Structure 1
Amino acid sequence: MPFVRIQSKEGRTPEQKEALAKAIIESMIDQGYANKEAIRVIFEDMAKEDFYSGEDY
C-alpha cells in the first residue's frame, strides 16, 4: 500500500490539500503504481515557527 506523507508549513486550506492529494493519487494510478483504493496521502502541518530552511537565514 503506497503511503505518501507531505510535511509542510501550516496555512494551506482543506481545498488545497484535497486538490494536491487527488493529483498525487491520479499520477500514481496513471503510472501504474497502485490502484486507487490502496493509496494513502497524509498531511502533517508544522507551525511556521517550527520550520526553518536555508532561505530563512
Structure 2
Amino acid sequence: MLPALLSKRRKELEQADVLVRETSESGQDSEYQLTEAGHALFPALEAMGFWAQA
C-alpha cells in the first residue's frame, strides 16, 4: 500500500473515532490506539478476515 494512501486511511479512521493519535512527551513520536468504537469493530473485522481466507 502506498504511504499516502495509508496516511489517508489512518486520518479517515481518526475522523470516524475508530483510532486516536497519542503523541509522546517529546512531541516527536506518535502512536495510534483503538478507541472504544475501534474495539467494538474488531470481532466483525476478524470474522471478515476469516471469511476472506476460506
Q: Same fold (TM over 0.5)?
A: no
> Structure with the greater relative contact order (CA < 8 A, sep ≥ 6): 1 or 2?
1
User: Which structure carries more helix by proportion?
Assistant: 2
- Please, what TM-score do these two structures have when normalized by structure 1? 0.35
- Please, what TM-score do these two structures have when normalized by structure 2? 0.37
